[in-house]
Amino acid sequence: MRSIFPGHFRLNEDDFAALWSNCIFAVDANVLLNLYRYSPETRQELEKALEVVKDRLFIPHHAAKEFLTNRLIVTAAQADEYTKAIKEITDLSAKLSNKKKHPFLAEGELPHFQEEVRKIIAQLESQKVELLGRLTNDEILEFVATMFTNKTGEPFDESILQAIAIEGDERYKNEIPPGYKDGKKDSSGDPYRKYGDLIIWKQMISKAQATSKPIIFISDDQKDDWWLEKLGRTIGPRTELREEFIKESSHDFWMYTVDKFIEESARVTNTPVSQNAINEIKEVSEEVKAERSASYNSSASLFMFISKEELLERLSYSEKWATNNEGFLGLAHFVNYLGNAGYDYSNSYSIINQLQDEGLVEIYDHKGEGHERSITALRLVRHHHQHQYSNKPFEGLRSMLKESTSEGMDTQR
């Protein structure tokens, strides 16, 4: 059975060790683009992990092209975040300095507060200037160029790209991974833009065929046309991907997110890794995923609208899993999970807000140990009568929803 359906069987510890020691590490564009989003300390952790395997690194040609095309866009977007933060701080300072309107600071506290505001704004302005300097003097670009010297794949011929586009249309229609989640992308001047993931996939298979080596793909693309997920938990690469890769190249395939790659590199080399860096990488990954998810809302017809009842049921399961793993359920993570299940992102946020107004869910800031910043989290509100449904959680949730709706109607009357 294992030889016929290899994608359904997870590698054991010895298999992972052999794969790690013998594989080629293929790097996705998003991994390198995130170097621009991380703090200097976190960036160093990723650079250190890449250095460990630098002799076996590889970047598919199309991934390198995407990195070079988008690095300035990411840099400018990060600089814009500084602009927004400075404006928000300036607005807050003006609001608290207004002596004619509450809230305001006491006379003796105001000068100290204003001085701290000036220091913070000066620091943010300095960091913004430093960031914009990368538009012309980019040390991250130099690191990437050096790291991937003689390790960048060759481009496919136009005839091969045309064949991939034809194959891609058929694969996307039947939701065969990878890349079908990008099926509605506009061309933006590039006729192969929506086939980017499929092109990278084919280039990795070609590399494995040419070198007779297995491949570990490091990627922060968390769409479910790459990853197998259940109840918000990432299990590994899609079984279809492993089976296709093994069939086409006779070698195995695996995937790591950036945080898992860094942790595994530290384990193999027996070196410490900063937990703060791991936390930041996860947070940035969730933020980027949420931003990308929003871009799909323009194709809302592809998504279903979730009911309050269905959302509560899925939240109940996800919260139980989160309690046993991360300890909390991130709001963006949960909505992304719903999106991967086919539910419209904007509608999901709207339903969650309605449920919060009805007192059934709570949105709150979670700041765990080792986290540099808070994460917006989500949880069910436990009502005193919920124990009645301890053996029937779905019925309990339905009852809660009906009660809340009835209370709302009584209030309206």
Please say if the pLDDT value at position 386 is more than 50.
no
DSSP helix/strand/coil, 392 = coil
Q: Where in the chain is the domain with CATH 1.10.10?
A: 275-412
**CA angle, corner 220, sides to 214 and 221, nearest 5?**
90
Separation between Cα atoms, residue 242 and residue 224, nearest integer Å: 14
Contacts of 231 (CB under 8 A, 6+ apart): 317, 318, 321, 337
CATH fold, domain 6-73+145-269, is Rossmann fold (3.40.50)
0.75 cut: is pTM over it?
no
Considering the domain delimited by 275-412, tell me its CATH architecture: Orthogonal Bundle (1.10)
Side chain identity at residue 11, one-letter code? L
Note whether 135 and 144 are within 8 A (CB).
no
Mean pLDDT of 256-263: 95
Q: Where in the chain is the domain with CATH 3.40.50?
A: 6-73+145-269
Greater model confidence, 53 or 8: 53
Residue 256's DSSP bridge partners are 218
**Lowest model confidence (mean pLDDT) among 17-26, 197-206, 392-401:** 392-401
pLDDT band (50, 70, 90) for residue 409 = very low
φ, ψ dihedrals at 62, nearest 5°:
-70, -30
pLDDT at 344: 77
Q: What is the largest CA-CA distance in the chain?
A: 77
Q: What is the pLDDT of residues 174-227, one digit of tens each?
A: 999 998 988 777 665 678 889 999 999 999 999 999 999 999 999 998 888 898
pLDDT at 4: 65
Q: What is the pLDDT of residues 266-275, one digit of tens each?
A: 999 999 999 9
Using only C-alpha atoms, what is the Rg of the chain?
A: 24
Side chain identity at residue 336, one-letter code? N
Mean pLDDT of 117-126: 88
